[in-house]
Amino acid sequence: MRVVPWFLATSLLVAGPSLAAQHTTTIPAKAIATATQLRETALASHLGYDIAESLTTEVGPRLAGSEADARAVEWAQAKFKALGYDKVWLEEVRFPKWERRSEHGAVVGAHAQPLSLIALGGSPGGRVEGDVVRFADLASLEAVPAGSLAGKIAFIDFHMERARDGSGYGMGSKVRGSGPSAAARAGAVGYLMRSAGTDSHRNPHTGITHYADDITPIPSAALGAPDADQLTRLLARGPVRVHLALDCGWDGETVSHNVIGEIRGRSKPDEVVLIGGHLDSWDPGTGAIDDAAGVSLTMAAGALIGELKQRPARTIRVVAFANEEQGLYGGKAYAAAHLGDIRKHQIAAESDFGAGRIYGFRSGAPDYAQGAVKQIADVLAPLGIAHSPQEGGPGPDIGPFAAKGLAWASLRQDGTDYFDYHHTPDDTLDKIDPEALAQNVAAYAVFAYLAASADGDFGSEAKTVTPPSE
C-alpha cells in the first residue's frame, strides 16, 4: 500500500470541509488589502495594552479557583461586551483546587539565614528539616538508589538557559515536574530546586508539579537564583541544614469557566477562527506577561476586526481559557466540548508566551493550505515576522484540541526575557512594552482576519495527531 500523508489519506474518507482539501486554499485580494490596513490600525492602537492594564490592575493575581479567578471571569465577560463582541458566554471547567497560604525556608545552625523560596503548585504543606543534598540536574537525582536520601532535602541546582524560543524551559519545567517525585522516591523529606528561570533576582518562580502515584508527596519549593547560589556556596563549606515550612495544598474540586466572545462572520458565521490566551495566573505576580498579554492582545485583535466596515466571512472566536497553569484544564475542556464541531474550526492560535515581539509565523496546515499561509505571512512580514515553517506549535490550550485534528498556527514571540519574570512576583504590567504588544495585536488581527476570509480550509478534522510542542 502506498503511503500518503495523513491529511490526504483522511481527506478521501470524509465529507464536508475536507473536500476542499482537494483544492488549494487561497485568500482573496480584497481581504489582503483590508488586512494590510487593519495591520496599520492595530499597530497604532493602544487597545491591547489598555485591556492588559485593566485585567492586571482591577483583578490582579488570579490563581485558578480563587475568589480572584471568579472575578477575572466576570471581568472577561464584561470586557468582551464592552468591546462590542456579538456573543459572550461561559463554558464550565472543573478542576481540583490548590491553595497557597504561606511559605518559609531558612538555613539553620551556624550560618542561619532565611531563604527566598516559593512552594510549587501542587505541593502539600508541611514542616520538614533536613540536611541538603545537591544535584546538578534531574538525571543525577533520578540515578540515586531508592531510600538513599532518607531524612534529607534534595536540591536540584539546574541552571536553565536563556533562549529566544524559550527552549531552556523544556528541562527547566521537567526539573519542576519530575524532581519532587524523584526526591520522594529516594526517601527525601523535602525538595528544593533552583527556579526554572533566567534572572538573578530574589523573586523565585513557582509553577505546577505533579507527584507520581507510587510516592507520598513531599513539600516542594523553588529557590530564587541568588538563594540557590548561596546554598551551593554554603554546601562547599560543609553540611547545610534547612528548615522548610509550607502551608498550602489541595482542597476539593472547584469550577471556573472558559470565557468566550465572538465577532460574528459575514457569510459563514458558524465557522470560526479561534484565538485566545489563558485567564488564570499564578498568584505571586499579577499575571501580566502570563497571560494577561495573551488574553488582551487576542481580545483587542477581535475587537479591531469587529470595527471593520466589512466583517470577514467567518466568525472570530476569542477564548480566555480557564486554569491553564495547573494542567491545561480550560484547553482540555474546550476540546472535549467542541470535538463534535471540530470542522467548524477553521484554524486556531493561542498567545501564551509573554508580550515580546512576534518574529516567526507558521501553520501545521496541510500542503493545500500552505499557499494561504504564505499569503498571511506576506502581510505579517512588515511587522518583522518571518515565515518560519520549522518552528513553533499550537499554544498549550490549543494543544489538546490540535492533538485531535484541529488546524493551528503559531505566532512565535521573542521570549528572551520571558523567563526572567514568568511565574514570579515580578510578572507585573511594567514588564509589558506597549509597542511590542501592539505589534502582537496587529499580527493576530491580520492572521485571524485572513484565515477567516480564506476560500477553503486549513485541514481541521477529527483525527489523532501529535502536534509539535510550542
Site residues (CB under 8 A) for a second copy? 53, 56-61, 67-68, 107, 110-114, 116, 200-203, 225-226, 229-230, 233-234, 237, 284-286, 424-426, 428-431
Q: Which three cell numbers stand for residue 40?
A: 496599520
Contact 346, 271 (CB under 8 A): yes
Least Cβ distance, residue 407 to a second copy (angstroms):
38
Of the pair 195, 428, the CB lying nearest a second copy is at: 428
How far from the centroid of its chain's Cα atoms is residue 332's Cα? Answer: 13
Residues 6+ apart with CB under 8 A from 309: none
How far from the centroid of its chain's Cα atoms is residue 432's Cα? Answer: 16
Residues 6+ apart with CB under 8 A from 269: 314, 315
Of the pair 234, 452, the CB lying nearest a second copy is at: 234
Of the pair 10, 116, the CB lying nearest a second copy is at: 116
Least Cβ distance, residue 424 to a second copy (angstroms):
7
Of the pair 76, 182, the CB lying nearest a second copy is at: 76
E-state strands within 279-387: 314-321, 345-350, 358-363, 386-387
| DSSP state letter for 151 | T
Least Cβ distance, residue 113 to a second copy (angstroms):
3
Contact 304, 288 (CB under 8 A): no
What is the C-alpha separation between 215 and 122, in angstroms, rounded?
14
What is the C-alpha separation between 117 and 104, in angstroms, rounded?
7
Other Cβ atoms less than 10 A from the Cβ of 106: the count is: 16
Helix, strand, coil content of the chain in percent (nearest 5): 35, 25, 40
Of the pair 25, 203, the CB lying nearest a second copy is at: 203
Least Cβ distance, residue 307 to a second copy (angstroms):
25
Least Cβ distance, residue 116 to a second copy (angstroms):
6
What is the C-alpha separation between 55 and 293, in angstroms, rounded?
10
Least Cβ distance, residue 8 to a second copy (angstroms):
52
Contact 214, 189 (CB under 8 A): no
Specify the pairing of strand 314-321 against strand 358-363. unpaired
Specify the pairing of strand 409-413 against strand 386-387. unpaired
Least Cβ distance, residue 425 to a second copy (angstroms):
4
Of the pair 67, 214, the CB lying nearest a second copy is at: 67
Of the pair 118, 406, the CB lying nearest a second copy is at: 118
Least Cβ distance, residue 223 to a second copy (angstroms):
12
Of the pair 173, 232, the CB lying nearest a second copy is at: 232
